[in-house]
Amino acid sequence: ASMLFGSQMLKAGLGGCIINVDSFVTASLLKHVLPYSMSKGAIQALTKGLALEWGPRGIRVNGIAPGLILTPISEALWKQPHMQQWALDQTPLQRMGDVEDLVGAAIFLASPAASFMTGQTLRVDGGLSAGRHWPIT
């Protein structure tokens, strides 16, 4: 989608912004999801690469990296009590995210307030990428 919309923006010559969505797993890998992590890492590299290429033509390219978000696709996973507890234990804000939690980041990235920002990824993950809890109480 970035390439499709970006090529149209380049043809129009008006500049603009593109917001890609990757994932917290690019900063904090998880076992058993390597293909997913690799694909999200590629999106992060695409974000930086396009920022370098298209920045001189007035197109900003940034990303949002959501944490553990409740969506219809992930609903079955998060209905499992042990997965809910794992998510709460890993996230300093101790709650799952919702799609609405990403809106503010998207509005900011698309706004004039981010006019000097490109090639960056905002982590909207409830603190998940800040680190892990030490198991000693």
Q: 77 φ, ψ to 5°?
A: -65, -45
| DSSP summary character for residue 31 | T
Sheet holding 16-21, edge to edge: 16-21, 59-66, 121-124
Amino acid at 124: V
C-alpha to C-alpha distance for 98 and 72, rounded to whole angstroms: 11
Q: 125 φ, ψ to 5°?
A: -135, 20
Q: What are the catalytic residues?
A: 36
Q: What is the CA radius of gyration of the chain?
A: 17
| DSSP summary character for residue 69 | E
